[in-house]
Chain A
Amino acid sequence: MDFGSILQILDSAVRFSTPLLLACLAGLWSERSGIFDIGLEGKMLIGAFAAGAFSAIATMPVYDGGWGWQTGGMWVGMVAAIIASILLALIHGVASITLRGNQLISGVAINFFAAGITVLLGASWFRQGGDTPQLPAGGRFRPIELPLSETLSDVPVFGPIYQNLISGHNLIIYFGFFAVLATYWVLFRTRYGLRLRAVGENPGAVDTAGISVVKLRYSAIIITGILCGIAGAYLSLGTSAPGFGRDMTAGRGFIALAALIFAKWRPVPAMWACLLFGLLEAISTKYQSIDLGFMVLPGQFMQALPYVMTVVILAGFVGKAIPPKAGGEPYVKER
């Protein structure tokens, strides 16, 4: 394999890892505050749908019932995605914080709901069997060429890396990496972050200190909603796909969950885990099967690998993954 094709695979690994990364960070916020969230998939899916649908509406010609925007349609989609995802996150919040319901069941319900409602609304709004119409250039996030990428392209090794791997992605991809740093900084370097982590480990202690467990958890849930919405918006507005397609997330919410465990609920390792899982997806997309010389690995093996690796990590064979201590338990204030 030559340098060029390695770069190409790494480049698509970055693209594939972005929605995983955003959803993984979303899960990190929620679970660090003590709320299990297996509904990442559903929130992402509804985000992807809202993004595709509203970007399409914004860019559709006025005589077709749209707004006739030539540019900027993707921002309408982005805002819609975030709002839709936050709404589902709040349902999860009401269920698990206010009503002290079962967080796992709530997550299952949310995934189900999103899978149904996106096709239902999509089919009745656009009449394309649940897909949204093709988006024009003005309704999507386009690649950004970073400064000097042409000038530096002649520099050996660094030039092509800069031009192909670092430059030429869209805004959401860069935001994904920014979100890793922001998450790290807020969670581990601010007072709010300290309290949030404490509420995921020992809510009783936080409550005793006079800080509202409920408010902290709701704030975390809303951040989860925002990040899931952006992750979904990336799928329909930031990839080569021409808009939203039914069941577009295709299990990415669960891979993100796997990455979260893989990274042991820490932001920077989460980035590496998502890049790794993105690389696996890139390889399995490029090669149908991989010939190791002594045996041939089928493509499905690469698809299953993130899940298998997560099971191995969970089983503690390669370092122990310990979730936040209060995760999954509703907090009942002492009287």
Chain B
Amino acid sequence: MNTGIPKWVDVILIPLLSLILAFVVSGLVVLSIGKDPIQAIKLMVYGAFRLNDGIGPTLYYTTSFIFTGLAVAVAFHAKLFNIGGEGQAAIAGVGVTLVMLAFDWPHWTIALLVGTLAAAAFGAAWAAVPAYLQVKRGSHIVITTIMFNLIAGSVIAYLLVGPLQANGSLPESSRFPSAAALPTLHDILGVVGINFDRFSDANITFFMALLAAVGVWLLIWKSRLGYEIRMFGESDKAAVYAGISPVKITMIVMLISGALAGLMAVNTVQGQAERLVLGAVEGAGFIGIAVALMGRNHPVGIVLAAFLFGALTQGGVELQFEMQIPAQMVIVIQALIIMFTGSLENLVRMPVERLFTRMKKRAA
């Protein structure tokens, strides 16, 4: 793919142009339902970044998207497409719920540690089967992870009207013990004298997400394993020749990917809902694909892209309140971003590359 275009064009200019294209088309969609796109953008920005009750929810969504984005990116580095973040995060929620309801927690730190381990373990386990079937039986990981998303949906639907259902008619689990509640950003920032929104769902897992991003950077670019992963992704034949086991790499990568996707459950299930509800993942697994695409599979890019998508999600709430544009507008924007930065990327890349090669020729 490298045709000698400068790196900043590849990493910044092309995604930016694609993003602009996605927003232009989104604006046309807003126009088509008879609303003002300029007003919509202003509202979304205001809604997403407003101090107190705007930036809080934005950071809450950002946290989930960092985790699912990293999950997709780690797998991408080994040329594996983990489309199963949705199911892995959902099952991780079950893991969190099981441990939270099993004990009387003395302190939130222990609850956070155990909840994190449970989420990672359950997420990884749900990714392990498709990974194993890919390496040992040759079944396409994309199809198996899609199937596992749907199976996870049925499992949770069963658990929430069966074994895990709390007393009552709602399909949800009992509430976790209050000692397991995670500190919110309001609590944490209050220590340093910042008065952050008291009602926002953003919590300590936001910092865990940032740590995870650093961890992924260290793993992929600074460790021996990461070198093997990238080599396997570049050319599995060369990797085998160099003595790297495809079975080992695929399994490890998918376990890490599933664990990362699972960690978002700590944010949503333990941090926010404090019980298991239906549809707790709400498409975050799929948005992870968009986040990884936008972020060029690099942790820095992923954190920024996750913030963008978090802001979009929160800004969409404002659209519904103020302009009566259904919140699904955000899903349309997200879809268009996935399209233009992902599958239709060459729409932008081809002309840009042509432009730069022409400029180079002229300079020479």
Contact = CB atoms under 8 A, between A and B. Distances in A.
A261 interface: yes
A310 B147 contact: yes
Interface in A73-126: 91-92, 94-96, 99-106, 108-110, 112-113, 115-117, 119-121, 123-124
Nearest to A99: B346
A308 B326 contact: no
A315 interface: yes
Contact of A258 (B29, B147, B326, B346): B147
Interface size class of B (residues with CB under 8 A): 35 or more
Interface string B262-297: 000000000000000000000100100100010000
Contact of A121 (B33, B140, B146, B331): B33
Q: Which 7 pairs between the two chains have the least Cβ-Cβ distance?
A: A116-B331, A106-B343, A112-B335, A113-B335, A314-B139, A304-B154, A116-B332
B133 A100 contact: no
11 contacts: A99-B345, A106-B339, A108-B83, A109-B336, A112-B283, A113-B339, A124-B325, A257-B146, A303-B154, A314-B137, A317-B137
Contacts of A103: 343
Nearest to A260: B143
B56 to A, nearest CB: 24
Interface string B129-159: 1000100011110111011101101110110
A123 B151 contact: no
Given A106-B343, A124-B34, A261-B143, A300 B158 contact: yes
Interface in A221-261: 251, 254, 257-258, 261
Given A94-B344, A314-B133, A104 B83 contact: yes
A105 B343 contact: yes
Contacts of B339: 91, 95, 106, 109-110, 113
Contacts of B219: none
A303 B123 CA distance: 22
A307 B147 contact: yes
A108 B147 contact: no
B332 A308 contact: no
Interface residues of A, number: 48
Nearest to A98: B346
A315 B139 CA distance: 5
Contact of A101 (B138, B328, B345): B345
A29 to B, nearest CB: 18
Given A101-B342, A300-B154, 17 more contacts: A99-B347, A99-B350, A105-B342, A108-B338, A109-B338, A109-B343, A110-B335, A112-B338, A115-B328, A116-B334, A124-B33, A254-B146, A301-B154, A307-B154, A314-B139, A314-B143, A316-B137
Contacts of B137: 314-317
Contact of A119 (B289, B326, B344): B326
B150 A304 contact: yes
B344 to A, nearest CB: 5
Contacts of B151: 304, 307-308, 311
